[in-house]
Amino acid sequence: MPVSRNALIRYKTIDNCLRNHYRRWTLDDLVEACSDALAEYEGIYKGISRRTIQGDLQVMRSEKLGYNAPIVVIDKKYYTYEDPDYSITNSPLSESDIGRLSEAVEVLKQLSGFAQFSEMDALVSRLEDRVSVTKHQTSPVIFFERNDNLRGLNHIRTLFEYITEKQVIKISYLPFTARQPRIWFVSPYILKEYRNRWFLLGKVKGKQDLRIMALDRIESIGMTYGETFEQLPDFHPETFFDDVIGVTKSLRDKPSEILFKIIGEQAQYVLTKPLHSSQRIVERHKNDRSITFAMKVVMNYELERLLLGYGENIQVLQPPTLAKRLRDIHQQAADLYEETL
């Protein structure tokens, strides 16, 4: 019988608690932690009984879900893991789990042949590789970019459900420039990933423009009652990011024609891996094999970071404001090295 989502949240919360060996955890402490987690992720505020958590501990100790968690009780009161390195997230997949994953991969492989599912190819390959590694105890052959220290990924599923249900949410958000979190009532629209970091786009109550929020800066998410979902009429998620690199963009931003020259061997790299879908060749320079490109995108922070990454191998020609901005940044960087060399 499939495990409910609420139960999985409780198991993960108990696991997080027992992995924290700097605190002693009583049964009441675990009840409180699980109640808080369900309130945060599911909007369930009725609390949890001690009997429920006792049952969860028994399930985690057993082979039912393949955890076999080494949970012990110290002084007849405090719960902990006998093995300090144990976590249910490190538990191997059961034969049943592997079978289900294999079936899912076969279905996804069939779907990936259709044009509308073409973006699933990488995901299918990754899943297939993981199933093979688990089945045959071999080393993986496919590695994807990852950041194990990235925060906020636990919010994705919760936000996905609120978005699909068009439910206004209460977010505690801590911007980089603030010392205290801000409380916003948000009508969530979409989730966006950029360079292995996730963002939520939505409308904050009382504001007229789109707000972009990094998930790793969200401290908590809660349900609201009696709030009306607000839809910005000018926001079209299917096309909103067509003219932007990254995620920084407002509804008022318009794309600009960016003209830039790539020098040396880097020109071939940019030719085979365009910086943006609008990129086109303007001129090939036979004398030094450089190429002048053009693309039409919104000027933002991510564009600057991307162009700066090419260092001495790029020259921005247009617009003058962007060329001057990058020149000033390079000059400031050179000044820093003058002070240290």
pLDDT in tens, 194-244: 888 889 999 999 988 899 999 989 988 988 888 999 999 889 998 999 999
Q: In the β-sheet with 256-262, what is the strand arrangement from edge to edge?
A: 280-285, 290-297, 256-262, 314-318
Q: What is the pLDDT of residue 155?
A: 85
pLDDT of residue 40: 79
- Where, residue-wise, is CATH 1.10.10 in the chain? 5-90
Give the model's pLDDT for residue 304: 96
- Residues 254-311: pLDDT tens digits? 999 999 999 988 899 999 999 999 999 999 998 888 999 999 999 999 999 999 999 9
What residue has token string 């966006």? 192
Say how far apart CA 260 and CA 269 lie, in whole Å: 14
Return the pLDDT at 114. 54
Cβ contact 42:9 at 8 Å: yes
> Which of the residue ranges 133-137, 176-180, 219-223 has the most confident prediction, judged by mean pLDDT?
219-223
Q: Is the pLDDT of residue 2 over 60?
A: no
- Residue 269 has φ and ψ, to the nearest 5°, of -65, -45
Angle between helices 5-19 and 50-61 (to 10 degrees): 80
> Which CATH code fits 153-223?
2.30.30
Quickly name the fold that domain 256-340 has: Alpha-Beta Plaits (3.30.70)
Q: Which CATH architecture does the domain made up of 5-90 adopt?
A: Orthogonal Bundle (1.10)
What is the spatial distance between Cα 268 and Cα 290, in angstroms, rounded to a whole number? 9
The pTM of this model reads 0.63
C-alpha span between 266 and 229 (Å, rounded):
47
Q: Are 303 and 241 in contact (CB under 8 A)?
A: no
* Reported confidence tier of residue 125, pLDDT bands at 50, 70, 90: low
DSSP state of 227: P
**Percent of the chain predicted with pLDDT > 90:** 51
- Confidence at residue 27, expressed as pLDDT on a 0 to 100 scale: 95
- Average pLDDT for the chain: 85
- Please give the pLDDT value at position 1: 42
Pairwise CA distance, residues 130 & 88, whole Å: 18
Asked whether residue 113 carries a pLDDT value surpassing 60, the answer given is: no
